[in-house]
Amino acid sequence: AQSVTQLDSQVPVFEEAPVELRCNYSSSVSVYLFWYVQYPNQGLQLLLKYLSGSTLVKGINGFEAEFNKSQTSFHLRKPSVHISDTAEYFCAVSDTGGFKTIFGAGTRLFVKA
Amino acid sequence: SQTIHQWPATLVQPVGSPLSLECTVEGTSNPNLYWYRQAAGRGLQLLFYSVGIGQISSEVPQNLSASRPQDRQFILSSKKLLLSDSGFYLCVGGGGFSYEQYFGPGTRLTVT
């Protein structure tokens, strides 16, 4: 069975500082990996995804993530955050059949001025 | 891309009453459809998924059931609500080549 662990429930950071949100997964089969973002009072939207190819994936709003198969990780990074990045971020894993997507518990990123 | 319509936005129901939440999909045919429950600090819990009309897979045994009477319609039901059924329910569509999932606006259910 697949599972996703987001290692930090909350990450406070100052504006313009770098940030890394950690995600580890477990699966016995090949997977696709995703990061979704939920801004306050809004629905979830896709931030970026890894299906194949380059292990460094770039998404919207300056975010990127790196797939590390040996460490079964898919950490999300941004070199300089803005107040508007304050949101909850969800890591997700899908089997390559695409039938089921399992989500992590979420990491709340709080950017302070 | 898909657009997921979900209603109502909020619902307050007494314990023991029935439940019916409806979700419809626009912009695609034969989508995979999912019901998730979102709880603070616990992420999204997959409740049911369906890959076609009449096909339902249950992930978590509980007081709820799901049905898919039409290709683009997905319904979450209960015969008798429990207090523990309170939560935020999301209908989600997926299954395209992008493997992306599309989220409905959600229903906040409070069982009193």
> Is A45 within 8 Å of B104 when comparing Cβ atoms?
no
Provide, as residue numbers in chain A, all residues whose Cβ is less than 8 Å from the Cβ of B106: 43
Note the pLDDT of residue A40: 87
CB within 8 A of A93, min separation 6: which ones?
A2, A4, A25, A27, A31, A32, A33, A34, A101, A102
Note the pLDDT of residue A42: 84
Note the pLDDT of residue A107: 95
The tens digit of pLDDT for each residue in A83-102 reads 999 999 999 998 776 677 88
Q: How confident is the model at residue B96 (pLDDT cuts 50, 70, 90)?
A: low
